[in-house]
Structure 1
Amino acid sequence: MKKISESAVRRLSLYLRLLQEADAAGAETISSGELADRGGTTSAQVRKDLSLFGSFGKRGLGYSVHELLSRIRSILGLQRSWRVALVGAGKLGSALFSYRDFETRGFDIRAVFDRDPGKVGTELGGLTILADEAMESTVRGLEIDMAILAVPADAAQQVVDRLVKAGVRGILNFAPARLKVPRGVALKNVDVTLELEGLAFAVSAGGQGIGNRE
């Protein structure tokens, strides 16, 4: 498979949301220009992004909203439900768990783990928080596909190693740590501090430093 840039995948996710809005409004077709205007990019960029995955639409007629929605969902792997585990039930983990849009997008959190004895056995959104020691067996038993990491930085790599051995193929990491995973396992890092620093640069540059366009 040819290598696709992270920015292109992000824009694809944005197009998906815009198409869902258009579909909800009853639109049957949409042009690259309309997607560009709503997404803060250019029609040329939209066409370039979509061309990475094949041929879409017809010149002068635009794209079928329903067909493009289906194709993008398939490209992003959203034609199925993903089984997810949350590791870390602190303030960040609890906030992430309460984000109900996960489920509507096809990400089903099946298990929550924590090493704090005060949290183990309590409920979080209808799920009982499980002990850290039960992680491997539970992950295997539930056939977890992905994990969300909301643990301290000094514990993150050990947790990742355990999750990978238990069969997890994708990890979304919120810990401020540089982690290593073997080939075949996808790792995405979300560093809020880095994002804020990028935002500070943009504000300092008068909004001209960085943006949505490429």
Structure 2
Amino acid sequence: LGSYGTRGVGYDVEYLRYQIAREIGVTHDWPVVIVGIGNLGHALANFSGFRSRGFRVVALLDADPGRHSEQVAGIDVRPFRDLATIVAEQGVAIGVISTPAHAAQDVADAMVAAGITSILNFAPQVLSVPEGVDVRKVDLSIELQILAYHQQRKASAVEGTVLPGPDGAGDADDLDGRLEAPA
């Protein structure tokens, strides 16, 4: 970032915030396309946090013709076949996949062919993309597993707590020997 502070005085906080935002790329207005307008696609389209972080949803696409008459968050849902045109017209570099798993790779391939170089994937599918294309996978079940792990650790730290076993009943198989099966 360079040196923005003044010795003995400190920093101009607003200027420093701007420099950090510039470095991480959120001072730019990034056009984004979302593909797959089911429940998750609706939620993402309506998420107000994108705009405040420099992301502007420019198109919502779905392969289902029944969705093409919908409008979500003030944006018309368009046919998936319009992807390449939208990417070219809007200068889209970031795409979001919120499709079922079986469609995700085809959507990623079409995004790459259209010129998208960064993909946020919510589909439960590992994507194969060429070098130079960045993919971030969001797996909600893994996030829940992480929370369950932390919850398990908190619960086992409480003396005398009986953790549920696979059948939902108390489990006497305590690893550290502090817990006992219910009477």
TM-score range, shorter chain: 0.7 to 0.9
1:85 and 2:41 equivalent?
Answer: no
Q: Given the two structures, how large is their TM-score scaled by the length of structure 2?
A: 0.78
Identical aligned pairs, as a percentage? 37
Q: Which has the higher helix share?
A: 1
Within the candidate set 81, 105, 108, 1:160 is matched to 108
Q: Which consecutive segments of 4 or more residues in structure 1 shift more than 6 A?
A: none
Q: How far, CA to CA, are the matches of 2:139 and 2:102 in structure 1?
A: 15
1:118 to 44, 66, 70: 66
Q: Does 1:132 align with 2:61?
A: no
SS at match of 2:136: strand
Cα distance in 1, alignment partners of residues 5 and 136 from structure 2: 31
SS in 2 for 1:129: strand
Count residues in correspondence: 156
- Give the secondary-structure state (helix, strand or coil) at the position aligned to 1:206: helix
Measure the CA separation in 2 of the matches of 1:155 and 1:62.
52
C-alpha deviations, 1:168-195, integer Å up to 9, x for none? 1211111111112222222111111001
> How far did 1:64 drift?
2.9
Q: Residue deviations 1:24-65, cap 9 Å, x none?
A: xxxxxxxxxxxxxxxxxxxxxxxxxxxxx5445467655431
Give, in angstroms, the shift of residue 104 of structure 1: 2.0
* C-alpha distance in structure 1 between counterparts of 2:155 and 2:66, whole Å: 45
| Structure with greater Cα Rg | 2
Query: In the alignment, which residue of structure 1 is the partner of 2:142?
Result: 194
TM-score by length of 1: 0.67
**Which residue identity is paired with 1:93?**
G
**Pairing of 1:32-47 with structure 2 (within 5 A):** none
Gaps of 5+ in 1: 1-52, 209-214
| Separation in 2, partners of 1:169, 1:157 | 14
